[in-house]
Homo-oligomer: A and B are copies of this chain.
Amino acid sequence: MRRFLLPVLLVCSITASAQQLENDSLKLRQLATEVLTHSKAYEQLRVLTKQVGGRLAGSPQMAKAEQWGVKALKESGADTVYLQACQVPHWVRGAKEEVRIISRRRDFIPPLQVLALGNSVGSVPAGITAPVLEVSSFEELEAKKDQVKGKIVFYNYPFNPAFIHTFDSYGDAVRYRGRGASRAAKYGAVAIMIRSMTHGANNFPHTGAMAYNDSFPKIPAVALGLEDADLLSNRLKDESDLKIYLRTSCRMLPDTIGHNVIAEIKGTEHPEQIITVGGHLDSWDVNEGAHDDGTGCVQSIEILRAFKALGIRPKHTLRIVLFANEENGSRGGKKYAEVAKAANEQHIFALESDAGGFTPRGFSFTMPQEKREKIKSWAPLFLPYDVYDFSSEGGGVDVGELHEATGVAMGELLPDSQRYFDLHHAVNDVFSAVNKRELELGAFSMAALIYLVDKYGL
């Protein structure tokens, strides 16, 4: 009989696996129908964006957003909801920035559309007036370092349209925002301006975090809208000695207290093993923080609601975390990781949504190959939902801190990226830029992945 044993076992195993595949396929279909017909995510996002609005760490709106988060998580069926306090940076923009071209020609040029970069210092109260040195790269800055002293350096580095994934264009250009000020201050620059990180077809400036190198003077830093960056560049061709008047009123106040908002459903079989899902609750001050990252918050909350509605009780403990501060400090993720590590918590997976609430295409992961292969084996279940990409490397900034501290396997929802940098960190990141179905399909994809990770482990 022995030689027949293996095939018989194989048949049993194939049959069991086919049955399992069918069960999982049905469960995912139930989840999709539940989310697409009864999701609260879009309405919750409306309240967050329209009634709370922009919510930079340390702002009064951030405190309102925390209250919103507690309420939304409780209503969605969490066992417990609590706040985890953490120190957050407290940067304020102050009065509206003013940047003007001062020309010999004395013709009228409207003020340039600018936003001060997050974490940057303000100018002297009366503003700075200085000539401009335009450079297209750090290499050009180095080559012209003798001309920098006393000038405002204008980094006019284009957002490369030839990349297919816009995050690659961002990764390519963002160094001028992050490190441009100190690189220029090293040679005596008095301020910097950067071309906004976008290929959007409008003139909205895009803010974002920068950091100073403490070895050099801290100088003001602003981002220009694309049309004004072109206008200035063209103007400089004809009139290289024009001056810029620049006044910013932003400043960094002492750290203050913010909170990660955390909800939990206790696991039925492995309560000590934790799956974390989240987005960050803070946003820039100039917009409604819709795609960045209101959508990630409401998608995470929707997983709770959908599980509850379908009677899915996870075997592992499921934590939804709305992180207190990502934009200008990552302090929310750092605190969560620190507490998890200190308590020696057992984390099996951490998932984030912080790449926009656009139509989903897959997930990026950072995890050992065998775990990725396990997830990839579920790919056929996702294909009917146009979710097919499980190959990219990645993971959100917030859960990245937990990964760093504990080595936990992490992932991030991978939405279509084409529209993200049209509105990222700009005034037009508002509720009306979010499509209800795209948001919901992202929430469903996350719920489906968490369902499978919980069912089969990782």
Contacts of A418 in B (CB 8 A): 359, 435, 437-438, 441
Of B164, B416, B437, which is within 8 A of A32 by CB? B164
Complex alpha-carbon distance, A165 and B32, angstroms: 12
Verify if A1 is at the interface (C-beta below 8 Å from B): no
Interface size on A, residues (CB 8 A): 28
Does A201 lie at the interface of the complex (its beta carbon under 8 Å from any beta carbon of B)? yes
Residue of B nearest to A201 (CB): B436
Q: Which of B162, B199, B419 contacts A438 (CB 8 A)?
A: B419
**A183-204 with Cβ < 8 A to chain B:** 199, 201
- Give bound CA distance, A36 to B164, whole Å: 9
Determine the distance from Cα of A115 to Cα of B347 in the docked complex, in whole angstroms.
Answer: 56
Q: In the complex, are the beta carbons of B435 and A161 less than 8 A apart?
A: no
Select from chain B the residue with minimum beta-carbon distance to A391.
Answer: B383
Bound state CA distance, A33 and B419, in angstroms? 18
Q: Does A162 contact B37, Cβ atoms closer than 8 Å?
A: yes
A386 touches B33 (CB 8 A): no
Q: How far is the CB of A80 from chain B (nearest CB, A)?
A: 32
Residues of B within 8 A of A111 (CB): none
Q: How many chain copies does the complex carry?
A: 2
Please pick, from B162, B388, B437, the residue contacting A161 in the complex, using a CB distance under 8 A: B437
A419 to B435, CA, bound (A): 7
Q: Judge whether A422 is part of the interface by a CB distance below 8 angstroms.
A: yes
A266 within 8 A of B: no
Given A436-B201, A437-B199, is A37 in contact with B161 using a C-beta cutoff of 8 Å? yes
- The reply on A380 being an interface residue by CB < 8 A is no
| Distance from A12 Cβ to chain B, minimum over Cβ atoms (Å) | 31
Question: In the complex, which residues of chain B have a beta carbon less than 8 angstroms from the beta carbon of A361?
Answer: 386
A94 within 8 A of B: no
Q: Establish whether residues A435 and B416, one from each chain, have CB atoms under 8 Å apart when the complex forms.
A: no
Residues of B within 8 A of A37 (CB): 161-162
Q: Which of A361-416 contact B (CB under 8 A)?
A: 361, 384-386, 388-389, 416
Are A386 and B32 in contact, with the CB atoms below 8 A? no
Q: How far is the CB of A363 from chain B (nearest CB, A)?
A: 14
Q: Which of A359, A388, A418, A438 is most buried by chain B, counting CB atoms within 10 A of its CB?
A: A418
List B contacts of A386 (CB < 8 A): 164-165, 361, 389, 416
A446 to chain B, nearest CB (A): 16
Q: Which residues of B contact A42 (CB under 8 A)?
A: 201
Q: By the criterion CB–CB under 8 Å, are A384 and B164 in contact?
A: yes
CA distance A166 to B42 in the complex (A): 18
C-alpha gap A454/B384 in the complex (Å): 31
A41-55 interface code vs B (CB 8 A; 1 in, 0 out): 010000000000000
The interface residues of chain B lying within 8 Å CB-to-CB of A416 are: 359, 386, 416
On chain B, the residues within 8 Å of A199 by CB distance are 436-437
Residues of B within 8 Å of A33, CB to CB, are 162
- Residue-wise interface mask of A (148-183) relative to B, using a CB-CB cutoff of 8 A (1 in contact, 0 not): 000000000000011011100000000000000000
Whether B164 contacts A385 by the Cβ 8 Å rule is: yes
Give the shortest distance, in Å, between A385 (CB) and chain B (any CB): 6
Nearest Cβ on chain B to A226's Cβ, whole angstroms: 12
| A199: nearest chain-B partner, CB-CB | B437
| Residues in B whose Cβ lies below 8 Å from that of A359 | 359, 416, 418
CB distance from A126 to the nearest CB of B (A): 40
Is B419 touching A162 in the complex (CB atoms < 8 A)? no
Interfacial chain B residues near A388, Cβ < 8 Å: 388-389
Which A residues from 48 to 76 make CB contacts under 8 A with B?
Answer: none
Separation of A436 and B419 alpha carbons in the complex (Å) = 9
A interface, CB within 8 angstroms of B: 32-33, 36-37, 42, 161-162, 164-166, 199, 201, 359, 361, 384-386, 388-389, 416, 418-419, 422, 435-438, 441
With A37-B161, A419-B435 already in contact, 6 other A-B pairs whose C-beta atoms are closer than 8 Å: A36-B161, A42-B201, A161-B437, A359-B359, A418-B438, A419-B437
Q: List 8 A-B pairs, Cβ < 8 Å.
A: A33-B162, A161-B437, A199-B437, A388-B388, A416-B416, A418-B437, A419-B437, A422-B435
